[in-house]
């Protein structure tokens, strides 16, 4: 019996050992290719798999997600930066990852003295997600601009530069906030007659490139919606020489045939008709959605239903069909009626062209009606535009005070819910949009390059928010649309065999690139120019202040046989001779391209490191590259972060290479 028990135990133990060894075999280091959706670029990362669970080195994860990584008091800390400013902090300690109120358990493993952390869900805490594309590629969604960066940008702009009134940006923050508070209160006292103009200003957008074309199209559309009466077209023939305004004339002719009688026509009425027509045409769906989610949303506490601006916005947005991006005809007629223009079939005969010319002599010299009357804002004098500035200021101030409430909430709880982030982003868009609309109005009144530049600058901020959309900003919440490991496949790519060893000498790094290799994403223009741009996000940027990064790419015509051979010559080259790339020859055997960049080029933590132009180099001649990277500083100032940076940069460049 004892023998049987011993035998059984032995078999069991052996079985256990075998199982353990199988598990050990399941541990594997893989080089994985990931497609970065927002950068439209392939990235490679090294993952360590244990029991099918992917692990990653913290610094590698930081580079992948554009975070900065540090070890602080036994904690792994990931920080999101905006320039030099930290905007978000995530920590990992004792197997727990934490971001505000969000927490998860994370496994860590040590392999050959290197710490690896579980890739998922850690990556979700760093504003990034992994998904599979329909064609089987592993896709990285890593926010180009994160929610924490947006919040910090807005927080700065609220009292330092975002205000319409520039003088308010120069007040101390206490007075600046009080100025916003006071002006925000004035919003409800805005006279009704001005709110209609503000409403249209907020809802429209001028597409500068297509403005004339769009206006003509609008006029044709409008003619077909308002009237089927084409009798006026014949009289247009009298003025075919006035080709600029033929279409606009046709439309207004159609409309005027419907006005009670021609005696009612005057300059004033034509002007109002042209304004309404242009305003309707330039209604912009994104602005309409934005208004509905902010100014017309009672939960935002910006306008009340009794405010005249609320009523005007509601009237226009209710009459707008978002699918066709046009006003409903009834709503359009309502707007004309509000302006005292009624369309009743005219029984007194056609309005002929000469009638129009009599009313508007300018038409006789070839100006179009739109040129004569086209004034989207309806602002007619300087005094009015100054008064209207108050309305824009009041609205923007009220929004600023509401945004500040979100900031208080962020400070209280550290994080916002998904829904709150969406609301916040809408409100931010409206905050900047009010300024865009203001400069648009002002530039229409008094065209000035300064106003136009400001208009375009803030329009770009809006477009940036529209481009990123809410989904990018909600990546801030780790459990929103989180990465599902069960759906992922990690395609292994062939390891690049670096033909020579990686060396660290002093505070520089040198690395041989693969033999017979070429930079993978080179651009070939007309078959003669090859160039490649390395876009590399620089970590530890604060450590590199006042230092110089030197990158030397050496290309030899024959197999390289010794690292030290020409190195001293390279090092001694005059660094000030070039700031953007230089090609030089060293004897008959070797030539090199040297790129030297000062710190300033690395502002915002991201820049193009090097543009290497292989002009005049025949691809087939490239045999070996030798890459040398260094940071100019005395050795005592160099720390492990610097070395890590150089190493990462070198590998980044090396990864860009594939075998010929």
Partner 1 sequence: MRIKKKKIYVILIVFVVICIISGYFFWSSAQSKDLLADSVYEQLDLRTGEEIENQAKEETGIVLNDSNFINDFQMDYEKKVQIEVTKYNEEQANLSITVPDMYSILKHSEDEQKILQIINSENCPLITNKIKINYEKKDGKYQVKENEELIYAIFGGMDKYFEEKGL
Subset of 49-88 contacting partner 1 (CB under 8 A)? 85-88
Q: 354: left (phi > 0), else alpha (psi -120 to 50), else beta? A: alpha
Q: How many Cβ atoms are within 10 Å of 524's Cβ, its own excluded?
A: 11
Q: Which is nearer to partner 1, 255 or 393 (CB)?
A: 393
Q: Is residue 152 near partner 1 by the rule CB under 8 A?
A: yes
Subset of 441-500 contacting partner 1 (CB under 8 A)? 476
Q: Which is nearer to partner 1, 422 or 647 (CB)?
A: 422
Residue 88 CB, shortest distance to partner 1, in Å, is 5
ω into 414 cis (within 30 of 0): no
Token reading at 476: 């801030």
Subset of 119-148 contacting partner 1 (CB under 8 A)? 147-148
Span interacting with partner 1, options 219-227, 376-384, 399-407, 452-460, rule CB under 8 A:
399-407
Q: What does the alpha-carbon distance between residue 315 and residue 623 come to, in Å, rounded to a whole number? A: 71
Span interacting with partner 1, options 3-11, 218-226, 406-414, 627-635, rule CB under 8 A:
406-414
Q: What does the alpha-carbon distance between residue 5 and residue 105 come to, in Å, rounded to a whole number? A: 41
Q: Which is nearer to partner 1, 171 or 644 (CB)?
A: 171
From 91, 260, 375, 641, residue interacting with partner 1 (rule: CB under 8 A): 91
Q: Is residue 528 near partner 1 by the rule CB under 8 A?
A: no
Q: What does the alpha-carbon distance between residue 571 and residue 569 come to, in Å, rounded to a whole number? A: 5
Angle at Cα 98 formed by Cα 95 and Cα 102, nearest 5°?
125
Q: Which is nearer to partner 1, 371 or 407 (CB)?
A: 407
Task: Show the site string, 305-344: x = touches partner 1 by CB under 8 A, - = not.
Answer: -x--------------------------------------
From 49, 99, 560, 628, residue interacting with partner 1 (rule: CB under 8 A): 99
Residue 98 CB, shortest distance to partner 1, in Å, is 5
Q: Is residue 174 near partner 1 by the rule CB under 8 A?
A: yes
Q: What does the alpha-carbon distance between residue 608 and residue 396 come to, in Å, rounded to a whole number? A: 36
Q: H or E segment at 181?
A: helix 173-185
Reported as half-sphere exposure (CB side, CA atoms, 13 A), residue 43 has a value of: 25
Q: Is residue 217 near partner 1 by the rule CB under 8 A?
A: no
Q: Is residue 181 near partner 1 by the rule CB under 8 A?
A: yes
Q: Which is nearer to partner 1, 99 or 602 (CB)?
A: 99
Q: Is residue 605 near partner 1 by the rule CB under 8 A?
A: no
Q: Is residue 155 near partner 1 by the rule CB under 8 A?
A: yes
From 153, 188, 260, 355, residue interacting with partner 1 (rule: CB under 8 A): 188
Subset of 413-452 contacting partner 1 (CB under 8 A)? 414-415
Task: Show the site string, 278-307: x = touches partner 1 by CB under 8 A, - = not.
Answer: ----------------------------x-
Count of residues near partner 1 by CB under 8 A: 46
Q: Which is nearer to partner 1, 100 or 598 (CB)?
A: 100
Token reading at 207: 């597409």
Q: Is residue 216 near partner 1 by the rule CB under 8 A?
A: no
From 322, 405, 463, 492, residue interacting with partner 1 (rule: CB under 8 A): 405
Is residue 569 within 8 A of residue 589, CB to CB? The reply is: no
Nearest partner of 487 among 8, 160, 133, 93, judged by Cα: 133
In three-state secondary structure terms, 116 is: strand
Q: What does the alpha-carbon distance between residue 423 and residue 203 come to, in Å, rounded to a whole number? A: 19
From 177, 211, 284, 522, residue interacting with partner 1 (rule: CB under 8 A): 177
Q: Is residue 175 near partner 1 by the rule CB under 8 A?
A: yes
Q: Is residue 219 near partner 1 by the rule CB under 8 A?
A: no
Q: Which is nearer to partner 1, 76 or 202 (CB)?
A: 76
Q: What does the alpha-carbon distance between residue 565 and residue 311 come to, in Å, rounded to a whole number? A: 80
- Burial annotation 344-382 (CB, 10 A radius, 16+ → b, else e): eebeeebbbbeebbebbeebeeebbbbebbbebbbbeee
From 18, 20, 182, 659, residue interacting with partner 1 (rule: CB under 8 A): 182
In three-state secondary structure terms, 538 is: coil
Q: What is the DSSP string of 337-379?
A: HHTT-------S-PPPHHHHHHH-GGGGGT--HHHHH--TT--
Q: What is the DSSP string of 119-173?
A: HHHHGGGGTEEEEE-TTS-EEEEE-SS-HHHHHHHHHHHHHHT--SSGGGGGS-H
- Chain residues binding partner 1 by CB under 8 A are 85-91, 98-100, 147-148, 151-152, 155, 165, 167-168, 171-182, 185-186, 188-189, 306, 401, 404-405, 407-408, 410-412, 414-415, 476
């Amino acid at each position: 019996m004892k023998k049987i028990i011993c035998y059984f135990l032995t078999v069991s133990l052996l079985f256990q050992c075998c199982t353990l060894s199988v598990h050990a075999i399941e541990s594997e280091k893989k080089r994985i290719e990931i497609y970065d959706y927002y950068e439209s670029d392939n990235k490679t990362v090294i993952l360590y798999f244990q029991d099918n669970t992917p692990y990653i080195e913290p610094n590698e994860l930081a580079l992948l997600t554009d975070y900065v990584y540090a070890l602080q008091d036994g904690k792994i800390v990931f920080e999101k930066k905006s320039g030099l400013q930290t905007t978000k902090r995530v920590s990992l300690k004792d197997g727990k990852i934490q971001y505000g109120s969000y927490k998860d358990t994370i496994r860590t493993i040590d392999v050959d003295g290197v710490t690896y952390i579980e890739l998922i869900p850690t990556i979700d805490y760093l504003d990034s997600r992994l998904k599979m594309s329909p064609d089987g590629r592993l896709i990285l969604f890593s926010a180009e601009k994160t929610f924490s960066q947006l919040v910090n940008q807005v927080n700065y702009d609220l009292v330092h530069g975002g205000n319409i009134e520039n003088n308010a940006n120069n007040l101390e923050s206490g007075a600046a906030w009080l100025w916003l508070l006071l002006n925000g209160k004035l919003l409800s006292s805005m006279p009704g007659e001005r709110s209609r103009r503000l409403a249209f200003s907020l809802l429209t957008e001028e597409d500068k490139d297509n403005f004339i074309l769009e206006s003509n199209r609008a006029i044709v559309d409008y003619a077909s919606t308002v009237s089927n009466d084409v009798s006026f077209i014949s009289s247009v023939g009298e003025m075919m020489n006035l080709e600029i305004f033929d279409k606009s004339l046709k439309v207004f002719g159609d409309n005027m045939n419907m006005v009670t009688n021609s005696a009612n026509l005057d300059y004033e009425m034509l002007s109002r008709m042209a304004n309404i027509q242009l305003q309707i045409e330039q209604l912009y769906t994104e602005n309409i959605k934005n208004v509905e989610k902010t100014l017309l949303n009672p939960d935002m506490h910006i306008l009340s239903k009794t405010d005249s601006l609320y009523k005007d916005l509601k009237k226009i947005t209710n009459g707008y069909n978002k699918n066709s991006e046009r006003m409903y005809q009834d709503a359009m007629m309502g707007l004309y009626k509000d302006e005292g223009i009624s369309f009743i079939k005219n029984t007194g005969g056609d309005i002929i062209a000469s009638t129009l010319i009599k009313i508007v002599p300018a038409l006789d010299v070839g100006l179009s009606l739109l040129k004569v009357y086209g004034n989207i804002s309806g602002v007619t004098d300087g005094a009015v535009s100054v008064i209207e500035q108050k309305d824009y200021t009041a609205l923007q101030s009220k929004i600023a005070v509401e945004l500040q409430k979100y900031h208080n909430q962020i400070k209280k709880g550290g994080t916002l819910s998904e829904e709150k982030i969406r609301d916040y982003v809408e409100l931010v868009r409206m905050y900047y949009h009010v300024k865009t609309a203001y400069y648009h109005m002002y530039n229409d009144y008094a065209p000035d390059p300064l106003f136009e530049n400001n208009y375009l600058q803030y329009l770009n901020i809006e477009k940036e928010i529209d481009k990123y959309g809410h989904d990018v900003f909600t990546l801030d919440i780790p459990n929103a649309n989180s990465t599902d490991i069960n759906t992922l496949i990690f395609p292994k790519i062939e390891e690049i065999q670096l033909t020579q060893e990686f060396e660290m000498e002093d505070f520089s790094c040198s690395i041989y690139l693969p033999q017979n290799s070429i930079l993978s994403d080179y651009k070939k223009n007309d078959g003669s120019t090859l160039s490649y741009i390395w876009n590399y996000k620089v970590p530890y940027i604060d450590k590199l202040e006042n230092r110089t990064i030197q990158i030397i790419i050496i290309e030899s015509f024959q197999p390289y046989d010794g690292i030290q051979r020409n190195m001293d010559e390279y090092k001694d080259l005059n660094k000030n001779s070039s700031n953007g790339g230089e090609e030089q020859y060293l004897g008959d055997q070797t030539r090199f391209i040297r790129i030297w960049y000062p710190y300033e080029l690395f502002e915002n933590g991201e820049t193009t490191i090097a543009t290497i132009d292989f002009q005049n180099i025949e691809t087939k001649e490239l045999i070996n590259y030798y890459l040398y990277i260094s940071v100019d500083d005395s050795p005592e100032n160099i720390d492990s972060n610097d070395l890590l940076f150089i190493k990462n940069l070198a590998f980044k460049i090396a990864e860009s290479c594939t075998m010929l």
